[in-house]
Amino acid sequence: MTTSWTRTRAHTGWELRLLLRNGEQLLLVFLIPIVLVLALGLTTLVPGGVDAAIPKVLTISVLASCFTSQAIATGFERRSGALRFLATTPLTRVNLLTGKALATVFVTLLSVLVVLLLGIFLGWRPGGTWPLGIGFALLGCFTFAAWGLFLAGALRAEAVLAVANGAFLTLILFGGIIIAPAQLPEAVGTFVEFLPSAALAQGLTLALDEAAASTAQLLIPALVLTVWAVIGSILARRFFRWE
When pLDDT is averaged across residues 24-50 and rounded to a whole number, the result is 75
Element (H, E) at 144: helix 130-154
Find the radius of gyration of the CA atoms of the chain.
Answer: 18
- Total domains in the chain come to 1
Whole-number percent of the chain with pLDDT over 70: 93
Q: For residues 232 and 214, give the distance between their C-alpha atoms in angstroms, rounded to a whole number.
A: 28
pLDDT band of residue 175 (cuts 50, 70, 90) is: very high
- pLDDT tens profile 83-141: 888 777 888 888 888 888 899 888 888 888 888 888 888 888 887 677 888 899 999 99
Q: Which domain holds residue 154?
A: 4-239
Q: How far apart are the first and last CA of the chain?
A: 27
Q: For residues 229 and 62, give the distance between their C-alpha atoms in angstroms, rounded to a whole number.
A: 14
Its pTM stands at: 0.89
Q: For residues 64 and 72, give the distance between their C-alpha atoms in angstroms, rounded to a whole number.
A: 11
209: left (phi over 0), alpha (psi -120 to 50) or beta: beta
pLDDT over 70 at 213, yes or no: no
Query: Would you tell me how many other CB atoms lie within 10 Å of the CB of residue 43?
Result: 10
pLDDT over 90 at 45, yes or no: no
pLDDT over 90 at 150, yes or no: yes
> What is the largest distance, in Å, between two alpha-carbon atoms of the chain?
59
pLDDT over 50 at 1, yes or no: no
Q: For residues 3 and 111, give the distance between their C-alpha atoms in angstroms, rounded to a whole number.
A: 31
